[in-house]
Structures are given as structure tokens and as C-alpha cells.
Amino acid sequence: MPGNTTEDSSARMTDGAIPAGLLSAVRSKRPLIHHITNSVTINDCANITICSGAAPVMAEAPEEVADMVAAAGALVLNIGTLSATQVEAMLAAGRRANDLGIPIVLDPVGVGATGFRTETARRLLDALDIAVLKGNAGEIGVLAGTGGSVRGVDSGGIAGDPVETARACARLTGTVVSMTGAVDVVTDGDRVYLVRNGNPAMDRLSGTGCMASSVTAAFVAVADDYAVASAAALAAFGRAGERGAAVARGPYSFRTGLFDELAGLSPDDLARHARIEER
């Protein structure tokens, strides 16, 4: 079922009480997050969902996705390891989610790298009502049509201003755009939130982008304002990255720390340390 925690949209996101309240809501409601996702990072996505306070299910058989998504609070569609069968499962699950008012988070991993990925991302955006489009700068630039590049599944950057690129993509697609980078940009085409939480170690570990989509879905599942929820999710995930990096000795100890610190992140810590700026 869709979330029903309403945050005052007029409230300033610089007030850490807003992301803290959403984190508390995820923990208390424990929404089910249905994933049709990347086989490379599927276990990390399941575990980061648990660490956020939500519950994961990873189901992509076309025969069951419509039934499975009906029990979910949000649906994640991640095109990182695509197949034709998986695309049909995404469409079936997405249509059912739309019918039930369940928000969809689309992660267009590697869009622009191949025609199949780009065509699939555009097909999903055209066929489904997507709540949040969560991607890196290169992916969002490709989908905005303003210029972006990817190398495999990694961002190769964008030509223009990140805020205006994200805004253009939001207006073109009719979605909330959550663009991750050194500074994350979240926009619905009008409002813009800059999230400054995070650590460079997050860019040196495979799968953090996919995990960010899972955390975003957990927050979106308990909120009515998807832009606010997306910014809060990235602040929480980034804060866990900051804390994890402080105790890490290298990439894999950082990975462990990232999970541990998100699981142990308190609403009070997030309220004090969330760094969200409104533009």
C-alpha cells in the first residue's frame, strides 16, 4: 500500500526533524519494498533495505510480480542487468503498482551505454507513472536530452549545470529526479534540494547507487511528498557513509561500516547531521 505519512511541504528541509521523522516512520511501519533489480547488487540492495528499517522482497518472475507488488509499499525497477524477460516483468509489476497507487523508483543504470538500456528506460518512463527517477549525473543527462555520458554503468558526467540538468529531466519526464553525485540534487522541476551528506568512499564501492535506490524506496513508501522523501533518504544514506568511512580501513571494511551505520543510525543523529539545502 502507498505511504501515508504527510510532511508539511512548506516546511524547510534544512530542519533536520523532517528526515528524522521519515526515518522513524520507515522503522515503525517497516514497508515491504519489491525489487526487480540488478543481479550484481541484489544481495546488497536487500540488506541495505533491512538496515534502513524496511523489508525487501526480490521477485522478478513474470508469473508472480503483479501479485507480489500488491503487498508492497514501493517498487524498485533497476535496469543494471537487463533481459527481455525482465523488462516484461518490470512492465507487469509497474502497471499493477500504478493501478494500486504504489510508488515506483526507477534506477536507469547505464542508460546511454547501449541502445537496449536507453530504449528500455524510455519505454518504462512512457508506459508507467514513475514516482522517482534516481540516477547518476550521466544517466540523468542522457534522459534529459541535455547531454550526458556513461562508461559501462558509471557516470561520465554532464555538459551543463547539474541543477538545471536535473530540473530539465524532471520537467520532461514528469517525475521527481534524484541525481546522485558529490552533491546530490533532488527536484520535482520546481523545488530543488541539494544533499551534501556522503563520503568519497561511496564512489569507490560497487553498488552504492543501487543501494541508494532501495533506501529511497523505503522513504518514499512512507511519504506523500516524494521529493522530500528522496532528499531525506539520500541524507540518511550519506550520513551512514560518513560514519562508515570514519572507521573503515579500505573499501570492504567501508562496505561493512556502511551497512552497520545505517542500521544503527538514530533519528536524533540524522536530525543533527542531515545537510540539506533548499535552492
- With a cut of 70, say whether residue 13 has pLDDT above it: no
Q: What are the pLDDT digits (tens) for 177-186? A: 999 999 999 9
Spatial contact of 44 and 76, defined as CB atoms under 8 Å apart: no
- With a cut of 90, say whether residue 193 has pLDDT above it: yes
Q: What are the pLDDT digits (tens) for 42-66? A: 999 999 999 999 999 999 999 999 9
Q: What pLDDT does 279 receive? A: 86
Cα gap 182→180, rounded to integer Å:
7
Poorest-pLDDT segment among 31-35, 66-70, 109-113: 109-113
Residues 140-150 have a mean pLDDT of 75
DSSP state string for 251-274: HHHHHHHHHHHHHH--HHHHHHH-
Q: Domain segments of the chain: what residues? A: 17-278
Cα gap 191→81, rounded to integer Å:
32
Instruction: Kindly state the cell numbers that stand for 189.
Output: 522541476
CATH domain 17-278 topology = UDP-N-acetylmuramoyl-L-alanine:D-glutamate ligase (3.40.1190)
Cα gap 39→58, rounded to integer Å:
10
